[in-house]
Structure 1
Amino acid sequence: MEKTVWVVLLVMVALLSTMPSPGKSANIFSAFGRGFEHQEEIKYTTMKLKQTEGLEERRIPAKTWVCTNQPPADDPESSQLTVFLRLFGYLDGENNKGERLPMGIPVSIEATGTQENRNLTACFFLPEKVQIDPPTPTDPTVTLLHRPSLTILTRQFGGYPNSEATWDAETDKLKTLVSSAGISIDPNLVFWNAYDPPLKFWNRRNEVWLVKT
């Protein structure tokens, strides 16, 4: 069964299906409610605007993200609900300061390696006031990851991309545009990004990021 990789959409699934295990302090209903709060977007600089179907080049600043590895599909812990709750738990107080933290956007999946041998890391962006001194996660499966400054190529698309196959298809479309523009990219690194809460049904924003070399 194919892994679902668009993490935010799982909140809707959880509401219709199951509650998290009693041991988790992160409650799925409070997590769903947080989706209606204002969420700070990572700031970036648009370097160039390619006149090719919306292709855009951006400079993404070095920032700290809170992340967790996505287990293999045959691992019983690979449930995306579990992955979401790991990250939301950190925001909801599972950190060394016991602080409830704001959630930034995008929600980002870092995919490294090839499609046949891929590692996926799910991350939440931490807003600026958290960047100054982010508390340490108390869950050992959750880590703070400092992503370096990146120059990326991207374009926006809508809908609910809820499978690796969908993200791969969008990645291939973007690679074709980038190749046509004569730009070199890292072939083994891609970021899949979602910006909207699950109950926003129209004009949704999703992006694949390819890293310029």
Structure 2
Amino acid sequence: MKVFILLSVVALSSAAPQFEGVKNFFKQFSDSESDTEYVSEYVPYKTLNKTIDGDLAFEVREYAPMKWVCTDMTYDMDFAAIEKSENEDESEFGILNNFRQAFSGGKKKPSSVMFMRLFRYISGVNAQRQEIEMTSPVLSKMSPNKEAGQMKNRMCFYLDSAAQENTPAPEEDTVYLYTSEPLTVAVMEFGGYAMRDSVWMKKSAQFAEALGDRVNSVDTDSFYTAGYDSPMKFWNRRNEVMFQLKN
């Protein structure tokens, strides 16, 4: 199956002149545990405890206040369709669908629009023309409103140590600096591709259900998502869904 995917992606890249990351693709086409070559820092946190209960494994973390660069979007979602859809992003054939969408030139997903806003900022589209190293993970706070059929999404990049001290102001109106409050969360990790809101929604629902009575100690009105890997990394991917603990 891996050989089939490799040949398919090479064919896709050959058919798309805008695909400039082929050399990076071959660097990341491996079972490496992380993308340390491409990431300067990871968001710091403190693990308070870990729980393993049958098939459920999660941990409780504490994040200290820190600076982020963020952007917001509210967009329509068909929640009924999400509940009926299959987890195709998590299958190996789903990888090909992700590449087709990435290079098809069609309508951009909200998450892609948000990511590019933040990426422009760290690439130097800021008041000081300062380039900032890419960090990991990309963190989002997702707040579904099923009655209105909308998703409110806040996506953020953690600012590395240098930018924590010397933070350039954004130039785009849709991008802003944010200093987070102390945050304590219950975190479940999972693998595979999580490039669609439907995957995050399903994983958050699975996590909430698996918590059982413990779900009463967390806020499930919204949830955080953390994606650690480039889309060019196929296997051993790391994703996390988090619920904030109630005070």
Aligned pairs for 1:53-72 within 5 A = 53-72=56-75
Distance 1:84 1:29 in 2: 18
Q: Number of aligned pairs?
A: 190
Which residue matches 1:41?
Answer: 42
Matched, 1:151 2:180: no
* Contact 2:42-2:137 within 8 A present in 1 as well: yes
* 1:161 CA drift (Å): 1.3
* Contact 2:76-2:150 within 8 A present in 1 as well: no
Distance 1:188 1:114 in 2: 9
Distance 1:96 1:81 in 2: 23
| SS at 1:47 equivalent | strand
Deviations 1:65-97 (Å, cap 9, x if unpaired)? 1111125259x8865443222111100111111
* 1:187 CA drift (Å): 2.6
Which residue matches 1:125?
Answer: 158
Distance 1:50 1:143 in 2: 36
| SS at 1:198 equivalent | coil
Distance 2:164 2:15 in 1: 34
Distance 2:112 2:222 in 1: 24
Instruction: Name the TM-score, length of structure 2 as normaliser.
Output: 0.67
Q: Indicate which of 112, 121, 124 corresponds to 1:90.
A: 121
Q: Structure 2 vs 1, CA of residues 16 and 47 (structure 1 numbering), >3 Å: closer, same or farther?
A: farther
Distance 1:133 1:48 in 2: 33
Q: Structure 2 vs 1, CA of residues 73 and 113 (structure 1 numbering), >3 Å: closer, same or farther?
A: closer
* 1:126 CA drift (Å): 1.2
Distance 1:207 1:125 in 2: 16
Can you give the 5+ residue segments of structure 2 that lack an aligned partner in the other structure? 1-11, 25-34, 78-106
Q: What RMSD, in angstroms, separates the aligned Cα atoms of the two structures?
A: 2.9
* Contact 1:55-1:155 within 8 A present in 2 as well: yes
Q: Structure 2 vs 1, CA of residues 57 and 182 (structure 1 numbering), >3 Å: closer, same or farther?
A: same
Which residue matches 1:139?
Answer: 172
| Residue type at the aligned position of 2:71 | T
* 1:185 CA drift (Å): 1.1
Instruction: Name the TM-score, length of structure 1 as normaliser.
Output: 0.77
Q: Structure 2 vs 1, CA of residues 188 and 79 (structure 1 numbering), >3 Å: closer, same or farther?
A: closer
| SS at 1:86 equivalent | helix
Matched, 1:196 2:229: yes
Over alpha carbons, which structure has the higher Rg? 2
Q: Structure 2 vs 1, CA of residues 65 and 208 (structure 1 numbering), >3 Å: closer, same or farther?
A: same
Distance 2:193 2:144 in 1: 24
* Contact 1:39-1:102 within 8 A present in 2 as well: yes
Q: Structure 2 vs 1, CA of residues 177 and 16 (structure 1 numbering), >3 Å: closer, same or farther?
A: farther
Distance 2:144 2:241 in 1: 16
| Residue type at the aligned position of 1:46 | T
Q: Percent identity?
A: 26
Matched, 1:101 2:132: yes
Which residue matches 2:28?
Answer: none
Q: Indicate which of 151, 157, 161 corresponds to 2:194.
A: 161
Can you give the 5+ residue segments of structure 1 that lack an aligned partner in the other structure? 1-12, 20-27
Aligned pairs for 1:172-187 within 5 A = 172-181=205-214, 184-187=217-220
Which residue matches 1:23?
Answer: none
Distance 1:167 1:98 in 2: 34
Distance 1:18 1:95 in 2: 29
